[in-house]
Structure 1
């Protein structure tokens, strides 16, 4: 007989929290997207007959005005049903009908869903930066041999206070200035570990780096990495958890390698799966040595090649400060962050279509559930920022020119604008059947990838 006792209370509660975070985030994204279609349709005089969160049989519903509002059983989407919208029920002269509206109004309705997803992301980031979000301090970890930083006298533990007349509070500020300044002498104001202030002229050299997508780009570098060795997350059931490593510990070394950042940890442990290693940590001013054996795991690198790594189960960070802005500063920062992510996601989609990014990196609801669960464990700030990222992702994916998606409708309406007449009902019906087949195929493929990740 199956016994519930094989599941601990902590396991059940943990799963419940993850599921709640997943469903809450998904509902918010769908609601905002469909709200965009709904509000613009109402604004231009199109009757909205149904507004549903979820698909399939309804759980509950109520009617207000011309609209029936529904909550349905399958929470993996939602829809807005407008009068005269579906193939076979168009009416070009019936008041309130979707296809009786001018083509520009229909374009606005179709575009409103993705637009609201982007605006939702801006709103989330605005609140995040208004309240404040943890950011990495500009403290030097590793100084590479024969680098401009080493030649100038920069040392591990130095805190960068300013570059020229620009005050430096976060590592990202330092990185941006250095990247765009190859060959130009920069005046660094530095605070030593002793508290002394020194001024060092450093000239970044132009070097080629690999970006997130494996592409090469030339940037300015001075040969430093941030000091990152504070344990901020330990995943249950992993080698780190079994070795007794705790959040708040400081990782000093692995075997004979001193740890100043992820680069050091990669060489000392992540690249050594299956080998027993001595982790020296600092806890409450007491040094502790514990044995840890990284678990071998095969993952795909950015080019799709299988590589074996050692899984530890920890998250590390450096000294963190709160990145916080005023009313107008938070808005600018939110727009900048959203614009940056729009670009990154758009490039990712393009590279997936062209095959530059392997197809097995595509994830579905199971992967999103896993990621939501991990972010929920790390706090509300991480969870809400993930929601903003997924909102941008949802908005951009819906702009793809695939029939049944918003982008497909937009494409049809643009063709109608150019031709001066709508695409025939028969052609639209065929296109929507093809689009539905493509979408279902993509969903099945994403589910397959999710399941294979769990199995392997």
Structure 2
């Protein structure tokens, strides 16, 4: 096809060493990007091969076969080569074009560049004959072939992409696909799964319209939830979980992401494994950092307090995580087996909470666990907690870090309503024994959940107490901005390796506490800073809004934090087909799902349910391809399946200059019994070319704006 027909990288719909020398790094990077180029090039090649083989089968002369476009590029006096290499075999020139944005097969008498259409039409007319008769065409030209033959030629590229996409997935599953199982590792406080009372350790076997599957991938589950949430945001999503021999069905209405409302979440986290990572197995300035050494890199936890972990459980590490989160004041003894087989025991001491001399208020209740202690006692969303067991000296973290004994009732005083209509009442709650494996603060930092009481609230920026010895802040002030002053370059760089340069710069320039920079995330970050780190606070004082600026220090408190700085790897598994037949079945399923995802995404894009900023182009494709290539051959093959199905559907859209546009013209010709008016075809093709160029510019700009 012509350069304007096949642009696989114009648009992709997006629903991811031991300090080697620079030579090794260069070779590794070069090999990685070589794999990326070969993979994407293969998808383009098989598409064009489909056109080429079909055209040759019907006797059409193919003058060029290119992966990439051989367009002339000149900047001032500098002329760039049109190709990276080419050769001629028989009547066809084969080559790799300098512009890696697609490929084309140039057939005699066919060119989608409107500027060359008339010239190409003249070139295939045979001389002689009656001037009034229809001009005779070169029998080896594309226009001279019958309509059904041209339809096969046009559709052959798409067919090849579908076939090879399924084959890519088939090979991947035959070889073995690494994946994270769809196991509930934990739930996000206040989220739909948390409100439904979903417990850690269950296996998700079905979600939305995905059929029951004991080997459901966590990423597949997330994609289904995201797609369903965008398409039908107000409808509940069916989720089926398996706990041992028990099947539990839930209907969860997804919540909007607070920063990106079009993204929908149900708040299920992936499973955590028993092994420590090879790097960053302990956060700096933590209890874990005090007892773990480099020899523990990659070690596996096999026992807690002398009791072996249940290796047959879906998530054996569950009791360890539960103890860390729910019993922050108790020491924990862990038995580790290192990569060389050596056993040793460590004791994780309680970790003191850090703050910067300010305590923050408890906001109104945001969510309740269905049937949980708080809901059973009559508490409602919007209620304000005033005191617990007579203690009115509450702040967001003192309430979160308090231990509530199971079976021992507590008295909670709440305020309901606003102003003169507000009423206060005291209710009795009986804490429940619930396994908790994740932080009681949501990953977005905007919600705090007390699992044993079944309630969640938002922290406020209202100062409830100032614990620093010297400060200009007062109770009732509103903290607006927190800025960290890093004076030790080495300590700063060690933090960059953990939380990234962007976060460090944000902390240095000023963390503006709000939806985009929640208080919960800030306080999590404070925990890894050294005691004594300088903190600059900007606050406003009601009612006049006077601006207060003061300097404080990171300090250790007498309270114990719900995390001790030990990190674990995610659970990994490999799905391998038992036979080629099963691999083919899994490959076919993968291909059908990816085709369905693209089609549904396009439908949501047209109806405005998906914002245009979620469209990605060549840069984002390269990023995704690089990430998947790093994960291994199978992951890269599944990415190529996704890319193939994207190309198949996008190229068959009824847009002039794409394969689908040509098929539309051919269908009209078959119905009418004669070709459409050539001038009209040319104008429509020209419009299609302009639209594709505009789209190309848009997705390039979109990629650059969202580059990370």
TM-score, with normalisation over the residues of structure 1?
Answer: 0.70
CA contact (8 A) 1:18 1:369 kept: no
Please identify the structure whose Cα radius of gyration is greater.
Answer: 2
CA contact (8 A) 2:629 2:635 kept: yes
Q: Tell me if 1:363 matches 2:616.
A: yes
Post-superposition Cα deviations, 1:200-245, rounded to whole Å, max 9, x if no partner, equal 4x4424343479996999xxx9x97652357898999xx9899999
- Equivalent of 1:206, from 220, 241, 251? 251
Deviation at 1:453, TM superposition (A): 2.3
Quote the residue 1:53 is aligned against.
67
Higher helix share: 1
Quote the residue 1:319 is aligned against.
571
The 5-angstrom pairing of residues 65-84 of structure 1 reads: 65-84=90-109
Distance 1:66 1:141, change over 3 A: same
CA contact (8 A) 1:23 1:75 kept: no
CA contact (8 A) 1:35 1:113 kept: yes
Q: Tell me if 1:31 matches 2:42.
A: no
The 5-angstrom pairing of residues 343-354 of structure 1 reads: 343-354=596-607
CA contact (8 A) 2:182 2:221 kept: no
Aligned equivalents of 1:392, 1:127: Cα separation in 2: 16
Quote the residue 1:123 is aligned against.
167
CA contact (8 A) 1:228 1:261 kept: no
Q: Tell me if 1:266 matches 2:443.
A: yes
CA contact (8 A) 1:93 1:100 kept: yes
Aligned equivalents of 2:66, 2:103: Cα separation in 1: 5
Deviation at 1:159, TM superposition (A): 7.5
Distance 1:357 1:338, change over 3 A: same
Aligned equivalents of 2:214, 2:166: Cα separation in 1: 25
Aligned equivalents of 1:16, 1:99: Cα separation in 2: 44
Distance 1:293 1:160, change over 3 A: closer
- Equivalent of 1:427, from 680, 692, 695? 680
Q: Tell me if 1:376 matches 2:629.
A: yes
Deviation at 1:98, TM superposition (A): 0.7
Aligned equivalents of 2:441, 2:41: Cα separation in 1: 41
Aligned equivalents of 2:109, 2:274: Cα separation in 1: 59
Q: Tell me if 1:108 matches 2:152.
A: yes
- Equivalent of 1:409, from 645, 649, 662? 662
Deviation at 1:170, TM superposition (A): 5.1
Aligned equivalents of 1:211, 1:143: Cα separation in 2: 16
Deviation at 1:67, TM superposition (A): 2.1
Aligned equivalents of 2:645, 2:447: Cα separation in 1: 32
Aligned equivalents of 1:376, 1:440: Cα separation in 2: 29
Deviation at 1:416, TM superposition (A): 1.0
- Equivalent of 2:583, from 330, 346, 350? 330
Structure 2, unaligned runs of 5 or more: 1-20, 71-81, 112-116, 126-135, 206-211, 226-235, 301-316, 326-352, 354-399, 402-434, 449-458, 460-480, 485-496, 507-514, 526-566
The 5-angstrom pairing of residues 385-400 of structure 1 reads: 385-400=638-653
Aligned equivalents of 1:242, 1:32: Cα separation in 2: 54
Aligned residues: 405
TM-score, with normalisation over the residues of structure 2?
Answer: 0.47
Post-superposition Cα deviations, 1:328-380, rounded to whole Å, max 9, x if no partner, equal 11111111111111111112123233332222222222222222222233323
Distance 1:417 1:131, change over 3 A: same
Post-superposition Cα deviations, 1:278-322, rounded to whole Å, max 9, x if no partner, equal xxxxxxxxxxxxx96575499xxxxxxx9558699xx98743332
Distance 1:401 1:249, change over 3 A: farther
Quote the residue 2:89 is aligned against.
64
- Relative contact order higher in (CA < 8 Å, ≥ 6 apart): 2
Distance 1:436 1:317, change over 3 A: farther
Distance 1:445 1:420, change over 3 A: same
Post-superposition Cα deviations, 1:88-124, rounded to whole Å, max 9, x if no partner, equal 3255542221111111111111111112111111011
Distance 1:240 1:16, change over 3 A: farther
Q: 1:319 aligns to what SS in structure 2?
A: coil
Distance 1:103 1:375, change over 3 A: same
Distance 1:388 1:438, change over 3 A: same
Post-superposition Cα deviations, 1:39-69, rounded to whole Å, max 9, x if no partner, equal 1112222221211122122343333333222
Aligned equivalents of 2:443, 2:641: Cα separation in 1: 30
Aligned equivalents of 1:417, 1:233: Cα separation in 2: 63
Distance 1:82 1:405, change over 3 A: same
Deviation at 1:386, TM superposition (A): 1.4
Aligned equivalents of 1:262, 1:342: Cα separation in 2: 37
